[in-house]
A and B are shown apart, each in its own frame.
Chain A
Amino acid sequence: MTDTTEKAARPKEAAPAATTARPRAPRGLRLRRGLTPWLFLAAPLVLLITFTYAPVANMVAYSFTDWDGVSPELSYTGAENYVELFTRPELFEVFFVSGYYLAASVVQIVLALHFATVLSFNVRFRNFFKGVLFFPYLINGVAIGFVFLYFFQDGGTLDSVLSLVGVHSDRAWLGTPESANVSLAGVSVWRYTGLNFVLFLGAIQSVPGELYEAAELDGATRWHQFRYIIAPGIRPVLSLTVILSVSGSLSAFEVPFIMTGGATGTETFVIQTVKLAFQFNKTGLASAAAVVLLLIILAVTWVQRRLVPDDKVDLV
C-alpha cells in the first residue's frame, strides 16, 4: 500500500532531524532517513506506551500482590487474588448482571437492523427519524442517568404514561434487583441503538443501488432484498457490532454507576472493580479482576476474528 517517499530525490536542505551528519555523507543520509518517521512517532508512541501498555503491564504485576495502592510495602501472593475471584461467589456473581446487558444488546441489534433497513429506503421525514434515533448516543451519560432516574421514579414519566393507558402500577422500578437491571439495560438500549443503527445504515448504503433496481425488476420483495442483498452486505459491520456489544455488556459501567451506584443487585463487574480499587484499597484484587476482564474481551475478539475472517483491507 505505502510507497517509500524517500526516493532518490536528495533533499537539498537538511531535514530537521537530530543529526549532525553532513547531508552529502551517504551514511548520515541513511541515518536521517531511518530517524525521520521516529521523530513523528515519538510523541504518539510515548503516550501510547505510558498510558496504555505500562498500565496493563503494571496491572498484571499488581494482580499477583496484596498491594493496597498506597502503602510502600507489598508482598507477592501468587495466584491468590485469582483464586479469590473465582471462589468467592459474591465476586463473580456480578458477571450474571452482564447477562441483562447482553440480552439488551440483542434487542439493540435487532432494532437497529430494522430501522436501518427501513430508513435505507426512501421514507418521508427520513432525516428527522435518523437524527432522532441517533441523538441519544451523543447525550452526556450523567444527563441520561438523571433523565431516566426521573423516568423510573414513583409517579415519574413511566408511571404517568402507564396511567394514561389505564395501567396503575405501584412498583418501584429500581426497587428489586431484577426490575432494576431490566430498567438499566433498557436505558442502555435507548442510548446505544442509534450508534448501531448508523453503522448498519452506512453499510447498507454502500451496497450499489443497481442491485436493488435489478432485484426490483426481478420482482423481489422487500424481504428478499433484505435477505439476499442487505444481509450479506453488512456482515462485516454486524460482526463488529457483536464484538462491541459483548465487550460493552461485560464492561457496562456508566449508566448503572450514575443511576444506582450499583445498589440493589445492579453492580456490574466494572463497578465492582472500581469499588475494590478506589473504595476498599484492594489494588491487587482489583487488578486481578481487571486482568480477567481484559482476557475475556481479548478472547471474544479472537474468537470473532477466527469465526468471521475479516475481509476488510488491513491497515498495513
Chain B
Amino acid sequence: MSRRGVSREGVSREGVARSLTHLSLVAASVVVLLPLLVVLLTSLKSEKEMANDSGALQLPDDPLNFDNYVTAFQDGGMLSAFGNTAFILLFSVTGTVIIGSMAAYAIDRYTFRFRKLVVALFLVATLVPGVTTQVATFQIVDSFGMFDSRWAPVVLYMGTDIVSIYIFLQFVRSIPVSLDEAARLDGAGAFTIYRKIIFPLLKPAIATVVIVKGITVYNDFYIPFLYMPSEDLGVISTSLFRFKGPFGAHWETIAAGAILVILPTLIVFLFLQRYIYNGFSRGATK
C-alpha cells in the first residue's frame, strides 16, 4: 500500500495501514447500509413528497409518517401473508427438527447394512440445485394434490433439508454413548432413549436448526411462488413480489412493504447473533 519505506518509518507505516483498514470497514458499512437507509427514508415520505421529486437522499418531511406502512399492510395483504408464513414456518421447522434428529440418531448410534449408502444418499442430495429439479418435482407435488396449498412448501422444506441432518449429526456424536447404555440397562427401548435422552440433550442443536431453517423458510421465494399462486395464499415473499403490479410507481408503498419484511429478520438477528453466525457457518461447511 505505502511505498517501500525504510524500517525507521515502520511505525508510521503501521499507522497508515491501520487507518486504511479502518477506512475500508467504514466504506463497506456505508455500501451495505446506504441502500437500506434510503429505502427506510423513502417509506416515510408522503405521496406528495415523492411527486415533488424528493431526492433519494432527502429526509422525509415527517419522520413519523407511517401512512405507507398502513397502506402496504392492508392493501398488500401483508396480514394474511404473515399468517401463511407463520403456518408454513411452524410445520416445516417442527418437522425438520423431528426428522433431522431421528435420522441423525439412527445414523450415529446404529451400525446396519447399507448405512454407508444411506449417508451417501444424504450427501449427494446436497449437490442437487433445488431450483432446477422443480421441473420434475412439480409433477410429483401435483400428483399428491398439494399444488396451490400450504402443504406443498411444508413437505418440500421438510424433505429437502440435508443441512439440518448434518448439524444434528455433529451434535449427536458429542453425546456420550454411556448414557444410552445406562438407560438401556434400566430397560429403555430405542425410542425411549431417543425421546428421553438424546432429544433433550440436543437443545443447542435444535436452537441452531430452528433459527437457520426459520430464516431460510421465511426468506424463500421460489417455492411459494411456484406452488401457491392463489391470491390468498401469499407468503411474505410472494405478497411483496406482487407489490410490483398495483403499486408500480408508488415507491413509498413498496419501500414500506420491503421494510416490513426486513424488520422481523433484523430483530431476530440482533437478539440471536451468535447462534446465527454459528448456524450458518456450520450449515455451509457441513
What residues of chain A have their CB less than 8 Å away from a CB belonging to chain B? Answer: 1-7, 9, 11-17, 34, 36-41, 43-45, 47-56, 58-59, 62, 69, 111, 114-115, 118-119, 123-124, 127-143, 146-148, 150-151, 155-157, 159-161, 164, 190, 195, 198-199, 202, 222, 237, 240, 244, 247, 251, 253-254, 258, 270, 273-274, 277-278, 283, 286-287, 289-290, 293-294, 297-298, 301, 315-316
- Across-interface contacts of A52 in B (CB, < 8 A): 125, 128, 133, 159-160
**Shortest Cβ distance from B108 into A: residue:** A2
Query: What residues of A have a CB within 8 angstroms of the CB of B110 in the complex?
Result: 2, 4-6, 36-37
Chain B residues whose C-beta falls within 8 Å of the C-beta of A155 in the assembled complex: 53, 55-56
Closest to A51 in B: B159
Cβ-defined contact, B133 with A253, below 8 A: no
User: In chain B between 234 and 286, which residues have their CB closer than 8 angstroms to a CB of chain A?
Assistant: 236-238, 240-241, 243, 251, 254-255, 257-258, 261-262, 265-266, 269, 273, 276-277, 280-281, 284-285
Instruction: Name B residues whose Cβ lies closer than 8 Å to a Cβ of A.
Output: 17, 21-22, 24-25, 28-29, 31-36, 38-39, 42, 53, 55-57, 99-100, 102-103, 105-113, 115-116, 118-119, 121-123, 125, 127-129, 131-140, 155-156, 158-160, 162, 165-166, 169, 173, 177, 180-181, 184-185, 187-191, 194, 215, 218-219, 221-222, 226, 236-238, 240-241, 243, 251, 254-255, 257-258, 261-262, 265-266, 269, 273, 276-277, 280-281, 284-285
Q: Which residues of A contact B269 (CB under 8 A)?
A: 131, 135, 138
Question: Judging by beta carbons under 8 Å apart, are A141 and B132 in contact?
Answer: no
Residue of B nearest to A129 (CB): B25
In the bound complex, how far is the Cα of B126 from the Cα of A297, in angstroms? Answer: 11
B189 in contact with A147 (CB, 8 Å): no
CA distance A142 to B103 in the complex (A): 33
A159–B56 touching, CB < 8 Å: yes
B-side interface mostly: helix
Of all A-B residue pairs in the complex, the 6 with the closest CB atoms, nearest first, are A47-B159, A40-B106, A15-B189, A37-B110, A290-B132, A51-B159
Residues of B with C-beta under 8 A to A142: 221, 237-238, 240-241, 258, 261
Cβ–Cβ < 8 Å partners of A150 in chain B:
35, 38-39, 42, 56, 251, 254-255
Known contacts A198-B281, A286-B135; decide if A13 and B188 are in contact (CB<8 Å): yes
B56 touches A156 (CB 8 A): yes
Are B285 and A157 neighbours in the complex by a CB distance under 8 Å? no
Assess the B121–A53 pair: CB atoms within 8 A: yes
Please state if B106 and A161 are interface contacts (CB–CB under 8 Å): no
Which residues of chain A have C-beta atoms less than 8 A from B188's C-beta? 11, 13
Q: How far is the CB of B104 from chain A (nearest CB, A)?
A: 9
Q: Is the CB of A316 within 8 A of B116?
A: yes
A9 to B265, CA, bound (A): 49
18 examples of A-B residue contacts, CB within 8 angstroms? A16-B189, A37-B110, A40-B194, A45-B103, A50-B140, A55-B140, A123-B22, A133-B28, A133-B29, A134-B276, A138-B265, A140-B218, A146-B257, A160-B55, A190-B35, A202-B277, A273-B135, A315-B119
